[in-house]
Every structure is written in C-alpha cells, then in structure tokens.
Structure 1
Amino acid sequence: MSAKSTNRKLQVSTGLLSNDDADFHSRSLGPVGQRESHVAIEMQEIKSPDEGAFNDENQNFGTSTFTETKTERDIKEITSTREDPVPRKVHVNSNGRDSCDHQNIVNQSREKENSFQSEALSSSPSVTLPGSAGSGKITELDIPTSRVNSSRSGGKSGNEAFDDSDYYCVDHMKLCSSQEAADEHAECEFLVPAFEWAEAQTMERDRRNIEEKLKKFETFAGTLLEDRNVLKKQLIESKEDVADEFLDIVEDLIAHLLAKQKEFMARLDELHTNHMKTIDGQIKRCMKVQKETSFSMEQLNTCTHGTEDFKKIKRNIIEKCPVYEEILRRDFNNATRLDYEFRPDPWVDKFFKSMNSLGDVITRPSGSKLPGFLSQATETDFSRKELQIISRNDGVSGADTNPCCFSGCTFVYGGKMILTDWNNACLKMFNKRGVLCNRLNLPNNPWDVKMIDDDRVVVTVPGDQKILIVCYSGTEMEIIYSFETDCECWAVAVVGDRFATTCDPWSKTPSIRMFTMEGKYVRIYQKDNSGRQLFAYPEHIATDSYQNVMYISDSRLHSVTALTVEGCLMFRYKHMDLSYPSGVATDNQGNLYVCGKESRNVHQVSKTGQIIRILMDSTELEAPRAISFQQDGENMIVTDVGNTNCDEFITASLE
C-alpha cells in the first residue's frame, strides 16, 4: 500500500481470548493469569476510484474533528477528513476474522508467531486494547491522520498532539510518526494509534498489578484461615488440658482433705473410745459398790443381833466401808460432765479468707508462625531481631522553663508519640519522625501516659491525686474529663475498660489499685496469699497484649513482678545486671522490656520471666526511665533522664 492511502479507519475488538482462539487467529502479547491477552488486527485496502489521480504535492488536509457516539456496541468514532481522501480501512477484532483476506492473515500470522512472541516478551509489556474481557465487543475508530509530509512539502501536522509518534507498529514493536507510518510501515499489518497503544499498556499493567494483589490477598487469606483453624483446634486441646490441670488440683485437694478427714475421724474415735472406757470403769465400780452394799444390808437384816454371825458380818462391813468411800470419792471427783467441741485449725480460716480461687487462667501469646504480612518470608521472632537506633530526638519546646524529664511515653494512632514532661508540667506530642507538633500545659506535674484508644490517652497527675483523660485529634490535645483517686497514682496501665495504677509507692503500704473509666475504685493488689507485701516501691506498670498479666517494676526490690489480673503471682524477674528497674513495656509476642535506671540498660525478658538478652547498655543510655512499644509494630521509645540526655528520647526498631 502506498502513502496515498492515508485516511485509515480502525475497527478494534478487545478482550481476553482463550489459548485456542489465540493460536488460530491472533498474536500473543503476554500472559494474563492463566490466559493470554491477544490483539488481532486485520487490514483491508479499499481503493478509491480516483486513486490514480491523487497528487502528493497537492495534499490539502482539512481540520481534524473527533466525535463520540454511544451505541449498543459502545462504538467510538474519531474521524479525520480531507479534500481528497483515499481511505485505507483496518479491521481489528477479537476473533481475527476478515471476509476478504482471512486466510492470508492467518498464514502470515503463523509465520511470524515465534519471533513475534519472543520479541513481545522481552521488549514490551503485554498490550490489551480497551474493552470487556472476553466479550468480543468491537470498537470502530477513525484514526486521526496527521498531514503526511513528503520531502517536498515540508508541511506540519494538523494534529500536533501526534507529531512525533502517532502510531505503534506491532510488527516492529516500535512507535512511529505519521510520516513513518505512511512510508516505512505502509505494508505492516498491525498498526495501532499511539494513544490507544499507550492506554492499552497502562490498562494491562494496572490489570496485572490488581490481579497480583488479588492473588496475594487470596493466598494470604488462605494461609491466615488455615492458621486460625489450627489455632482453634489447638485452643480446644489447650482448654481441655487446662481443665484437666484444674481438676487434678481439685482432686489433689479433695484427696488431701479426705486424708485429713480420715485423720480427724480416727482421732475423734480414739478420744471417744478412751472416754467411753473411763466412764464404763466408773459405772462398773459404782455397780459393784451398789451390789456389795445391798448384799451386806440383807445379811444384817437376816442375822440375829448379838450372835457371832452378826458380829462377824458387822466387822466385815466396817472393814469395807472405807474402801467403798474411797471408790465413790475417786469416781465422784472424776465425774465431770464432758462434751465434744470442734476447733478448726487457724490456718483453715486464714486459707478461706486469703484464697480468691484455686487458680487462674491467662492467655499466653507466642510468636506467630505466619509468613510476613502479604509476603512469603517467615516472620522473625523479636528475640532474634537486631535492635537498630532510628534517631535521638530533641524534646525541647520553646515554652519550656526547665530541662526536660520524660517520665512516661506512649505510641498513639498514626505512629505519633506522646510524652509526659515532669519538669515542665506538660504533655508533648511528636510526629513519627520525632518532631514536636503540639504541647499541652497541665495543672501539675504528670508522671505517666498510656493510650486508651485511637483518640484518647490517660495521664496520671500524682500531685493532684487525679487521673486525666486527654483527647487528641491530628496534632491537637485537650483534657476532656478527670477524676480524683484519693491517693497518689503514679504509673498507669489500661486493662480492658479499667485503669491499673501504682499508688503511694513511697508509703509503707504501696499497692496497685484498679479504677473504672469513670473513676470508681474497684480493687486493690497489695499482699500475696501468705499475707506478705507484694511491693516495696512500685514505679511503673504495663500489661501484656491480651491485658491478662500486669508487670510492675519495683525499684526497691530491684525486680519486676508479674501478677495476673485475678491477683495470682506469676513470677518475679531479677537479674544481677538489673538495678533500680523503672519503665516496663511488652510487645505483641509477649516479650517484656525493662529499663534499668541505675544499671543503665534495657532487658528483653521472655513471657516466663527468663532473660533473653540486654538490648541497650551504658554505651547508649545514661539513666533510662520510661519505655513504650508500638502496638502491633516493631518500634519503641526509650526516654533517658541522665544529666546529659534528659532533653532527648530515643526511637529504635527491632529489624
């Protein structure tokens, strides 16, 4: 075909063809899931009656016009007119059929199949022209034809948008201008408007990206579903094991009580038998005295007075009377009334008063065995990840009048951080990069802060014996309400819909007290089951991710106490390299993190109370005070109240 046939009308059918259709009628341009995206283009030359009279030098193109028509076949027509058109019509459809030149197209397509396939895969992404997948819809387009410049004309294109690259040649896998399309690519079978080719590339790339995401979601959802089903079975078995353990304790307790019952009944029987023997002896002696005295009286009554028999009987009676008197006196003296009375062991009463339950059930989180989120990599346990210091952040505000002292810290929604500045009596909010974005002045010095939900935090103000609820939105903070505690509440942790606080740590009877969100005092933790003090100086408190276990640092006992919400003592963590523990926090795998203020380090501790490693030491810290772990994340905050680092706080990550 010559450059004279410059007005082309393109009929495009797009969609997803099956492999059979593609093999027979079209060329494969790249994989699409389990199928391939195909574009089939067939060309038919339509000659104008006056083609021979056409003169290249006298080309006179009119203004290009574009119209859109919506029909049942969703046909878009873009037309370009000129004075002397010599149309060349190109038909493109998903079936690859043409009534005039079908067999030639099929044969040529098969001859170029192998070379075209390799070039398409290596040189260009897959191309799918717009249309409904597999629908076979036909879109008929009049290709806007720029003015074709000959070497003599030197004219410019009527449509400047396509001056450089108007078409894409699928045969040569390259963009070309209108001039090149008319000259070099006039005989090419697969010539597509550049904007259609670009749009098809974009749509195909977007489709592949979406398909990859959907496949990833589907695969990960299946993995997560399998993991949850396994967890259900595991929890059912674990529930049975826990129930068996409890019943074992009950059975042991019952067996112990039955043994004590047997001992008690044996003792009672022995005591009763001894008393019965004593009483039976007394009865026997009394009956004997009674019998002998009755017989002696009968003898006296039957004998004549003054006879020898009478005198003999009289002498015998006089001799026996002292014996009878002694027997009766002795039994009389021992004839006290007896009664049985049960006296329980004092320990029993104490046991019932001190025992809240026979045991407690807690949920112990463990490291997930799932692959990393939406990836195939296995998630590494935090105990094996390396700590990376992200930044040391300056916490000084222009409104500060004293050096900073960050006694408490917490992550909040969006990766922001809120810290309590004890020395400057304020809350400070920092963005995820550690830049100060807001400051809220408080009526007195705050000690600790914890996140309640996505827009609220709880703050303790021990000097005022108050707990504040602060709302934050964006970078704004505002106190929405507060309540009095009637004690100095220092550290705080959120336990469901309640607050657990360390109260009066300096007193002789420090404790952990539980308050509702409305400020109602509901429970106290102060002594263990033996009546001993649980705490000497409770400083900071945290809970595990399930909020079943509380961890309380005790700077005077140099330990961390693990206590269930029900009051069951789990363990006390002590270590030779831990001195004056202060801030405590937990991650979502159940590991515990403890700041040693005097030992100048941070300990990573297992959920059973065993040291894993020392994460940070004196080379990085001077006097660590508070620590917070990002919920469902790997980042942490550590505040340092040393003389040289008091204005800074550290953000770090386990990677």
Structure 2
Amino acid sequence: MQTRKKLTKLFTELKIAQQRIQDNNNILSQLPTINDIDEYIFEPNQAIKKVIQDEKSLGTLSSKKLKQPAEPKNQGTVAMKLSTHRRIYAKTSSGEKNCWISGIAVSPQNQLFAADYYYDSLKMIDIINGDIKQLQLDSKPWDITMVTTDSLAVTLPDSKTIQFISFSPDSLLLKNKLKVDGECYGISHHQRKLAVTFANPGKLQIMYLKENTKVTVDKDSNADNIFRKPWYVTTNSHSIYVSDDGNDVVLRFNWQGEMVGLVGIRRPRGITLLDDGSLSVNGYASDCIYRVSGDCKDSKIILKDVNRPYAACWCAETSSLCVSSFMEDSDDNYIRVYKMM
C-alpha cells in the first residue's frame, strides 16, 4: 500500500514537470533570435574630437572650504529692558506641597514644560489658559531640552538616565531611555547632538546621537578638574555654555570640547540663549539676572530683586524670558515670564 502511494506521487510530479518544460519551451520560442537584434555603431562628432584632441584632462578637482559659523560678537553691550512679569502656576492642586521647578523649556506651540523635582514629574502647562497635564517619571527630573517639535529629553540624575518624551497638545508619552555613565543634570540639544553636564564628578559630555559617539570634557591642560557643580548648559551652532555653580563661573566651549572663554557670575544657575546670541544667566545667590555676551567677555545685570532665580528658558516666538525660583519652605509654585522690550 505504501509503495503504491509513492508511485502515485511520483507519477503526479512527473506530469507537473512535463507541463513546466512545455511552458518554458514556449517562452524560449518567443525570444528574439540573432537576426532580430539591431546593431549600433558610435560615430564621434568630428568637430568635438578636434577641439579636445590636444587636451590632457577634462578639468581639475580641488577641495572647497565650507563656511564656518560666525563667531559671536560682543553682544550684551546694548541696553535691554524687561517688562513687569506675569506668573504661570505649576501646582496641579491646592493640596500639593510646594513645587521645585528645576528645569523649564518651551515649545513653538507655546507649551511650557516644567521638571518638578519634588514630585518626580514632568508638567506641560498651556501658557494661554494655564491648564496643566502631568506625566509621572520613575526618578527625579532635573533639566529639559527640546529635541524636535514634538519631543523632548529630560535628565534623571538619580537613575543616571536621559528620558525621551513625545507630546501633543493633549498628552505626554514616555519613549526610549538613554543610559549614561554618571549623574546627569544640565542638557541641551542642537542638530542631533546633546551637551550634558554631570556631577560627582563634574564633567561635560558631547553626545553625537547619529554616530552613537561622545566626547568627555573634565580636565584642563594641567590635568586639574574643570568643573565642580555644572548644573546647567545651553548651546548654539558654534558654542556650548556651562554654568558652574561651584566655581562661580560661566564657561564657553566649542563643539570639540575646547574651552574658549569664561566669565565670573556668583553661583550661576539657569542659563539660556537670547535671539542675538547673548546669554541670560540666573545669579542664584545675588537674586539677579545677568546678560552675558556670546564671547563671555562682558556681563551686565539686567534685572534685580528676583527671588532665588533657578531654571531659565527663552521663548523666541513671544520674545519672553521664563524663570523659576526655589527657596526651602517658600511659595515657589510659579514661573515668572518677562517680556523683552
């Protein structure tokens, strides 16, 4: 019985093979023969041939120097005025204890993002109507940077992690995490690169996201530590600026990690770039806000009597400076918004 089944299967496969052979023969018979192929001969243009017959090459290849971004001018010398501020509250309910807004950022859609260190959360605040949406995080956040028009990155120093988050007008959504090799605090994004500051020990890392590589800056030419408490950082196309609270200084680096300038500010905290390339720096101990030139050669106080200014961000769409404050056991549940005049 088993032999009969095998013979039947073999007979069926032979019939199928015969049909395939016949089909292939039909296809081959329809292909063009040697007599159906047209031959072509290239005849060069004699006028062109005569012109180039004495030339040795068609041209030369040379390198082209790309235009580098212009170095910042000594901004900060022009007078700048700030209007009376308004307040945006960050508490989600009256029953909450006071917030600690350690990092702020603003989107082009006028959404204000606040890292609440006390509540282990990220808050998205509608600047127009004050509505708040809150996303719980698995660790205390410190600083925020916009990555794209609908995503941002938050540093979580206790878990040594950078958390990426997407957002829409109505929601916040946790995305991927990036594990780092230290307690990450300040963060700034520019053209697929992250500048991140670390504490314990202090250092700056330049992370190239596309290439998955990084450059670490922590020692000077004498092998001494550069940083003590580099809490915040901001960037543009040619510079990285770090506020070092422990050394009372704002430092400027290029994207190769070389220090190219510094200016003294007493206990600087939040730092943000203004439209003209100058910087706004929060002086935490002096209760002042400073304007620092892009080359870090000049600084001026532009606002006094600001209660313990902490985090800062600049909103280019509204020409406004956003500043949070922090003092133990005080009502610091709001973010001040100053209009530049």
TM-score (norm 1): 0.40
What is the percentage of aligned positions where both structures have the same residue? Answer: 18
Contact 1:584 1:595 in 2 (8 A): yes
Closer/same/farther in 2, CA of residues 612 and 515 from structure 1, 3 Å limit: closer
User: Residues 463, 648 of structure 1: CA spacing in aligned structure 2 closer, same or farther, 3 A cutoff?
Assistant: same
Q: Distance in 1 between matches of 2:317 and 2:127?
A: 15
SS in structure 1 at match of 2:83: strand
Written as runs of structure 1 = structure 2, the 5 A alignment for 1:12-161 is none
How far apart, CA to CA, are the structure 2 residues paired with 1:367 and 1:413?
28
Shift of 1:458: 0.5
Inter-CA distance 614–437: structure 2 relative to 1 (3 Å threshold): same
Shift, 1:610, TM fit: 3.4
- In structure 2, the CA distance between the partners of 1:502 and 1:399, relative to structure 1 (3 Å rule), is farther
Q: Which residue of 1 aligns with 2:293?
A: 606
- Name 2:283's counterpart in structure 1: 596
SS at match of 2:93: coil
Aligned partner of 2:302 in structure 1 is 615
Indicate conservation of the 8 Å contact 2:288/2:303, yes or no.
yes
Counterpart secondary structure, 1:388: coil
Matched to 1:550, the amino acid is: I
Deviation at 1:433, TM superposition (A): 2.9
Q: What residue is the counterpart of 2:41 in the other structure? A: none
Contact 1:554 1:582 in 2 (8 A): yes
Counterpart of 1:552, as a letter, is V
Pick one of 305, 318, 322 that aligns with 1:637. Answer: 322
Partners of 1:596 and 1:624 within 8 A in 2:
yes
Q: Give 1:384's aligned residue.
A: 79
State the alpha-carbon separation in 2 of the partners of residues 392 and 616 from structure 1: 16
Counterpart-to-counterpart distance in 2, 1:591 and 1:632? 17
1:143-172: per-residue Cα shift (whole Å, max 9, x none)? xxxxxxxxxxxxxxxxxxxxxxxxxxxxxx
Higher RCO, Cα 8 Å, sep 6+: 2
What is the CA-CA distance between 1:386 and the residue it aligns to?
Answer: 1.4
Q: Is the 8 A contact 2:206 2:255 kept in 1?
A: no
> Equivalents in 1 of 2:129, 2:83: separation in Å?
16
Paired residue for 2:70? 363
Please tell me whether the aligned partners of residues 457 and 469 of structure 1 are also in contact (alpha carbons under 8 angstroms).
Answer: yes
Report the CA distance between 1:588 and its aligned residue: 2.2
Q: 2:200 aligns with which of 506, 515, 518?
A: 506
The code of the aligned residue for 1:648 comes to Y
Q: Give the letter for the 2:289 counterpart.
A: V
Secondary structure of the 1:410 match is strand
In structure 2, the residue matched to 1:462 is 157
1:24-48 deviation per Cα after TM superposition (whole angstroms, max 9, x unaligned): xxxxxxxxxxxxxxxxxxxxxxxxx
| Structure 1 residue identity aligned to 2:228 | A
2:62 counterpart residue number? none
Kindly indicate whether the alpha-carbon contact (under 8 Å) linking 2:277 and 2:293 is maintained by their aligned counterparts in 1. Answer: yes
1:651 counterpart = 2:337: yes
Note if 1:549 corresponds to 2:239.
yes
Helix, strand or coil for the counterpart of 1:463?
Answer: helix
Would the aligned equivalents of 2:263 and 2:299 in 1 still touch at CA under 8 Å? no
**CA displacement, residues 544-600 of structure 1 (integer Å, 9 cap, x when unaligned):** 3x2x201111111100000111122121111xxx32111111112110111111111
Q: For 1:600 and 1:382, how far apart are their aligned partners in 2? A: 21
Tell me which residue corresponds to 2:38. Answer: none
Structure 1 pair 452–382 and aligned structure 2 pair: CA distance change class (3 A): farther
Alignment check: 8 A CA contact 1:410 1:451 kept: yes
> Where does residue 624 of structure 1 map in the other structure?
309
Is this contact kept in 2: 1:408–1:420, CA < 8 A? yes
CA offset at residue 628 of structure 1? 0.4
What value does the CA root-mean-square deviation take over the aligned residues?
2.6
Equivalent in the alignment of 1:562? 252
Asked if 2 retains the 8 angstrom alpha-carbon contact of 1:470 and 1:480, the reply is yes
Give the conservation status (yes or no) of the 8 Å contact 2:74–2:295.
no
Q: Tell me the SS of whatever aligns to 1:540.
A: strand
- Summarize deviations over 1:413-447 as a string: whole Å, max 9, x none: 21211010000111111122361331111111100
Cα distance in 1 for residues equivalent to 2:77 and 2:261: 22
The answer to whether the 8 Å contact 1:407/1:421 transfers is yes
In structure 2, the CA distance between the partners of 1:533 and 1:633, relative to structure 1 (3 Å rule), is: farther
* Structure-2 residue corresponding to 1:443: 138
Aligned residue for 2:109, secondary structure, equals: helix
Indicate the structure (1 or 2) with the bigger Cα radius of gyration.
1
Q: Which amino acid in the other structure matches residue 406 of structure 1?
A: I
> Which structure's residues are more often helix, by fraction?
1
Q: Separation in 2 of the partners of 1:518 and 1:442?
A: 26
The TM-score, its normalising length taken from structure 2, stands at 0.74
The residue number in structure 1 matching 2:93 is 398
Structure 1 gaps, min length 5: 1-238, 243-360, 369-380
Distance 1:572 1:489 in 2: 22
8 A Cα contact 1:551 1:560, kept in partner: yes
Stretches of 4+ aligned residues off by more than 3 angstroms:
365-368, 399-402, 516-521
* SS class of match (1:445): coil
In structure 2, C-alpha distance between the alignment counterparts of 1:423 and 1:627, rounded to whole Å: 18
Specify which of 205, 209, 230 is matched with residue 538 of structure 1: 230
Give the length in aligned residue pairs.
276
Map 1:471-490 to 2 at 5 A. 471-490=166-185
Distance 1:630 1:534 in 2: 31
**Cα distance in structure 1, aligned partners of 2:95 and 2:295:** 42
More strand by share: 2
Could you tell me whether the CA contact under 8 Å between 1:483 and 1:518 is conserved in 2? Answer: no
Aligned to 1:451, what secondary structure does the other structure show? strand
Alpha carbons of 1:552 and 1:564: their partners in 2 closer, same or farther (altered >3 Å)?
A: same
CA distance in 2, matches of 1:515, 1:607: 22
1:562 aligned partner, one-letter code? R
Distance in 2 between the 1:392 and 1:652 partners? 9
Query: Which one of the candidate residues 85, 102, 110 is aligned to 1:415?
Result: 110
Distance 1:610 1:434, change over 3 A: farther
Q: Give the AA of the match of 1:654.
A: M
Alpha-carbon separation, structure 2, partners of 1:417 and 1:367: 30
